[in-house]
Structure formats: structure tokens, C-alpha cells
């Protein structure tokens, strides 16, 4: 019976992938956009707050991306596109980038948007955030020759510079509301944001919904089309699927729909499914291991964890095709990815041999070590992955205690290094200098900030290679350097890489113009509209 169940699960996963691939994102002959209507989308889990400079979890970025904006956005092929910057110039030596701002942009409270907001956001807020801290290392100064011009002066060439201006790493906050005596974490606008985007914050009923309404004074003429967007908090997976089936919501993304439900949902006559809109994110899931604690400080233990987990089982039979087994520290969609690194096929005997070599001998009950594991708090699938990990590691004598928490607790504990092991999913952000290096360079070990080098991995050679690759003059040289760093990381296993995600977005066929960039459901939705019922 168990064998039949496994085969059935595998077949469901293949059907899910086939069904999603077969359904177009939108009709080739879309009707003309219409004004009006409120788009209702699933929100799961509920975000800790809506200040994306503080919280970079996916749900914060999705909601905040309609309220706030950054200087740039990115096409499906990851070319920079205008946002709050209408255009930009690059000096011949690539050390000076001049951004020309949207002259008609204003904050939702009516105050004008100016270059002072950009300078304040980067110098006072973003310089201390997980992603932008790395960018600021290459910046000599940021100046504003006038109210609608901002100039970034670089210390040296930074090849990934124009990839760094999405909403997650480059959100622009209103100086007049944040340049105050109140500490950033206590600013009331973190939960009642005021932005420049096409939608304004109206209310947040905790545990129920977040309501956004149309910005009648948006700088992009004739936009937005929608009257508003409502994000409904729906913790239960079956209820999320039912809401999409019954058309009480018109959008689901990431892990909103359970993998085994995907074939059923994808076949619904009123649903379109697309895998576009994740090009910039390319999420890679891994097990974070706190290397300040024993035995995680020994690479043999980390290698043993890799050998002890059947990652193919996770990808095919728990994720049902939503993930592909990771080959190393770079998601296969990330620039300069190289699969030719040391691999860790499922081999519990090798895991046991490594643990024995370390001197971690089993006691009378077969226990070598007891550790805590914090699951990724993004739904039932992640809980099942954690349970399977516990079962797998238990077979080689690593006894796991699953320590559940909510999103806020999860990010806080990781940022404060208060964990043994934790599941994490991190966006790769188009270029390894932006999204990959932050996880491994020792300069990004900063207590209190999640999505940094929270495993506290240190290797001077890795630091050097990432620095050289970020400033290398050609893609060929960058590839050579990134290949070398991938080989080192694959040998030392600072993290246990599990899967490269293959996410989908489910949209009611009434929804048009939503997924238009490589940021997908995180982007502004200024062009999104609803056809009549």
C-alpha cells in the first residue's frame, strides 16, 4: 500500500507540472483595460509589519509593493525598467549613476516626493538593512544636485549595481514621517504605511484582512485601473483552495495552494496559471545551521546532514514538482550558476561514517546529538518537510526537536542566532552579488538582522572571491570567480541546500495585467484590472 501511495503521489506531481505548463498566463487577445473593481488576494502567512525595509518576508513585499516603490523594477529577462526613476545615466567608467526622478510623484499624504527622500532612505535606513548593507560598501557617496536628481558615486566598479533597486532592497520611505525621534521599529507607519505607489493603505484588521484603495493622484497617468486590493488572511490550506475555486479570491501565489491540490486547481475553467514573475526571486530553500554551536561548526557534520536527507523525495513527493533538488549555493536560474560542484546524493551510510569520524558515537538509544529545528512558517507543506527532515536525521542518530513559531518569531530568532537549525527560503535577486553573497560573506554577520549570514560562516577566501566577482570587468571573469566560490561552498556546506523553487501564481481569468515584470505579484499592479463578472 505504501508503495502505491508513493507512486500515486509522484504521478500527481507530474500531472501538476504538466497542468501548470499547459495553462497560459493570459489570452493573446486581451480586451481593453477597464476601470473599477477590487482585486481580492490570499495572504498567508500574515506579515509582521508592512515596512519592507525592516521585514523582507514574501507577504510583506507583496503588500508593500503596491504602496511603496523603488527607483527601478525589472522585466522578465531582468532588464532594469523605470519606476520612481524615470531614466538614468551611467558614466563611462561606471562609477557614477545619475537617476532622474518622476517629477509628478507624491506621497499618499500629499507631500511631494523628492531626492531628499531617496538620500534619507539610503543613508539612514537602507544602509542598515540585510541586503543594502552589502551594496553600500561600494558607494562613496549619494548626492542630490536638485529635487529630482540623485547621483550615486561608487568607490569602484560594481557589476551588479543596477540589479539592486527592487522594492525589497531599495524601498523609498518618506523622510518627513521617518526622520523623527521615534525608533524605526516603533514608527506607527510601519503598520499604516504612506507611500508613492498606485494603492494607499486603508486598514488592517489583524487576522482578517489588509485593505488598500486606489491612489487618485498616482504619478503614472491613467493608473491604477483597480479601485483597490484586499488581502485576505487565510491560514488553512483547504480554505485557500476553496476560496479560489468559489471565486471569492482572485489570486494565490508561492505556497498558497498545496502541491497535491495544484492539478485540480489548474484545471478549473476560470483559472489561469503562470510561472512567470519569479525570474528576479529564484527562491532557494535550505537548512540553516548555526556554526557558532557544536557540532554545526564541523563541516563533516554539515556534510552528513546533506547525505542523510533524501532531497529528491522532498522535491517530488512533498513539493510535487514545486521544487528541484539544489546542486549548491546558486539557484539554477541565477546568473553564473555552475552545477559542476561536489554533490551529495542520498546516502545515510556516508552520513553515519562522517558522524563516526567526528566522534559522535550513538548512545544506547542510538542518539548521537539532540538539536532544535525551526520550520519555515509558510504553510502545511513546510511543516511536512520539517517532519520528514526530523525522521531522516533521526535514522542517523541526529534527534530533532521541531520548534514551531510564527513569521515574526522565525525571523527574530534567526536574526538573533537563537537556533540550532532552521529552514529558510531566500530570494536570489537576479545577480549573485545581490542575493547570494549576503548569505556567506563574513562582513554580513550582523546580529539582529535576518536574511544575512545568520549561520555565521567564515572563510576569507570566499569573502575575497565574492568581492572580486562583484567588481570584475567582464562576465567571463565573473563566471570564473563564481565557479570557484561555488566549488568551495559545495565542499564546506555552510548550509544544507534542499531545493530550487518552481513557484506558480494562480489568477482568476477576470484578472488582467497583473504579472507584467520579473517581480510578479510583488510589483505595483498599476496595470492590473478586472473584467466584469
pLDDT digits (tens, 9 = 90+) for 433-479: 999 999 999 999 999 989 999 999 999 999 999 999 999 999 999 99
Q: What is the per-residue pLDDT across 377-399, written as a single tens digit (0 to 9) for each?
A: 888 889 999 999 999 999 999 99
Q: What is the per-residue pLDDT across 150-171, written as a single tens digit (0 to 9) for each?
A: 999 999 999 999 999 999 889 9
Q: pLDDT band for 81, please (50, 70, 90 cuts).
A: very high
Q: What is the pLDDT of residue 13?
A: 43
* Residues whose CB falls within 8 Å of the CB of residue 329, separated by 6 or more in sequence, listed in order: 284, 436, 439, 440, 486, 489, 490, 495, 497
Q: What percent of the chain has pLDDT over 90?
A: 84
**pLDDT of 232 over the 70 cut:** yes
Its CATH architecture, for the domain 2-50+191-276+504-530, is: 3-Layer(aba) Sandwich (3.40)
Q: What is the per-residue pLDDT across 281-333, written as a single tens digit (0 to 9) for each?
A: 889 999 999 999 999 999 999 999 999 999 999 999 999 888 999 999 999 98
Task: Respond yes or no on whether the N-terminal peptide bond of residue 326 is cis (omega within 30° of 0).
Answer: no
209-214 and 199-205 strand pairing: antiparallel
Strand partners, 273: 506
Q: What is the CATH number of domain 284-501?
A: 3.10.105.10
Q: Where in the chain is the domain with CATH 3.90.76.10?
A: 67-186
pTM over 0.95: no
Q: Where in the chain is the domain with CATH 3.40.190.10?
A: 2-50+191-276+504-530
The C-alpha atoms of residue 317 and residue 202 are separated, in whole angstroms, by 41
Total Cβ atoms within 10 A of residue 21:
12
CA-derived radius of gyration, the chain: 23
**pLDDT of 22 over the 60 cut:** no
Is the Cβ–Cβ distance between 45 and 235 less than 8 Å? yes
User: Considering only the top CATH level, what class is 67-186?
Assistant: alpha beta
**DSSP notation for 486-526:** HHHHHHH-SEEEEEEE---EEEETTEES---STTGGGS--T
Q: Where in the chain is the domain with CATH 3.10.105.10?
A: 284-501
* Residues whose CB falls within 8 Å of the CB of residue 90, separated by 6 or more in sequence, listed in order: 96, 97, 98
Amino acid at each position: 500500500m505504501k508503495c502505491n501511495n508513493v507512486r500515486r503521489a509522484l504521478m500527481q506531481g507530474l500531472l501538476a507540472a504538466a497542468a501548470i505548463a499547459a495553462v497560459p498566463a493570459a489570452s493573446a487577445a486581451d480586451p481593453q483595460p477597464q476601470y473599477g473593481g477590487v482585486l481580492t488576494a490570499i495572504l498567508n502567512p500574515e506579515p509582521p509589519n508592512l515596512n519592507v525595509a525592516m521585514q523582507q518576508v514574501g507577504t510583506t513585499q507583496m503588500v508593500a509593493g503596491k504602496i511603496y516603490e523603488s527607483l527601478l523594477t525589472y522585466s522578465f529577462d531582468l532588464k532594469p525598467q523605470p519606476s520612481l526613476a524615470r531614466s538614468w545615466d551611467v558614466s563611462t567608467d561606471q562609477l557614477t549613476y545619475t537617476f532622474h526622478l518622476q517629477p509628478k510623484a507624491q506621497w499618499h499624504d500629499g507631500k511631494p516626493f523628492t531626492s531628499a527622500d531617496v538620500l534619507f532612505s539610503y543613508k539612514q535606513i537602507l544602509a542598515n538593512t540585510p541586503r543594502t548593507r552589502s551594496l553600500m560598501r561600494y558607494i562613496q557617496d549619494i548626492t542630490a544636485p536638485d529635487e529630482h536628481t540623485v547621483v550615486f558615486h561608487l568607490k569602484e566598479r560594481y557589476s551588479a549595481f543596477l540589479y539592486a533597486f527592487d522594492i525589497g532592497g531599495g524601498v523609498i520611505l518618506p523622510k518627513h514621517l521617518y526622520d523623527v525621534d521615534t525608533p524605526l521599529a516603533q514608527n506607527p507607519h510601519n503598520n499604516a504605511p504612506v507611500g508613492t505607489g498606485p494603492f494607499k493603505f486603508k486598514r488592517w484588521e489583524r487576522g482578517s484582512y489588509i485593505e488598500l484603495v486606489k491612489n487618485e493622484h498616482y504619478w503614472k497617468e491613467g493608473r491604477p485601473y483597480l479601485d483597490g486590493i484586499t488581502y485576505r488572511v487565510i491560514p488553512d490550506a483547504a480554505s485557500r483552495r476553496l476560496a479560489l475555486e468559489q471565486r471569492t479570491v482572485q489570486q494565490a501565489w508561492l505556497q498558497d495552494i498545496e502541491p497535491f491540490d495544484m492539478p485540480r486547481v489548474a484545471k478549473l475553467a476560470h483559472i489561469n496559471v503562470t510561472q512567470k514573475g519569479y525570474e528576479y526571486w529564484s527562491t532557494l530553500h535550505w537548512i540553516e545551521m548555526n556554526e557558532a554551536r557544536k557540532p554545526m561548526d564541523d563541516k563533516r557534520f554539515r556534510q552528513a546532514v546533506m547525505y542523510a536527507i533524501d532531497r529528491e523525495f522532498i522535491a517530488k513527493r512533498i513539493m510535487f514538482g514545486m521544487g528541484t533538488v539544489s546542486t549548491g549555493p546558486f539557484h539554477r536560474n541565477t546568473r553564473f550558476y555552475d552545477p559542476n560542484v561536489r554533490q551529495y546524493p542520498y546516502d545515510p551510510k556516508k552520513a553515519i561514517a562522517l558522524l563516526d569520524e567526528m566522534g559522535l558515537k550513538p548512545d544506547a538509544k542510538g542518539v548521537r546529538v539532540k538539536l532544535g529545528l525551526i520550520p519555515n512558517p509558510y504553510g502545511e507543506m513546510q511543516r511536512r518537510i520539517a517532519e520528514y527532515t526530523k525522521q531522516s536525521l533521526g535514522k542517523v542518530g541526529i534527534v530533532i526537536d521541531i520548534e514551531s513559531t510564527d513569521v515574526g518569531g522565525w525571523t527574530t530568532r534567526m536574526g538573533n542566532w537563537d537556533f540550532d537549525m532552521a529552514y529558510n527560503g531566500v530570494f536570489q535577486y537576479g545577480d549573485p552579488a545581490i542575493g547570494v553573497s549576503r548569505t556567506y560573506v563574513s562582513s554580513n554577520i550582523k546580529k539582529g538582522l535576518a536574511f544575512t549570514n545568520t549561520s555565521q560562516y567564515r572563510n576569507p577566501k570566499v569573502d575575497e572571491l565574492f568581492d572580486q566577482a562583484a567588481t570584475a570587468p567582464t562576465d567571463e571573469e565573473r563566471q570564473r570567480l563564481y565557479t570557484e566560490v561555488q566549488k568551495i561552498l559545495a565542499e564546506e556546506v555552510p548550509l544544507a541546500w534542499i531545493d530550487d523553487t518552481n513557484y506558480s501564481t494562480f489568477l482568476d481569468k477576470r484578472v488582467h495585467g497583473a504579472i507584467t515584470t520579473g517581480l510578479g505579484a510583488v510589483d505595483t499592479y498599476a496595470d492590473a484590472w478586472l473584467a466584469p463578472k
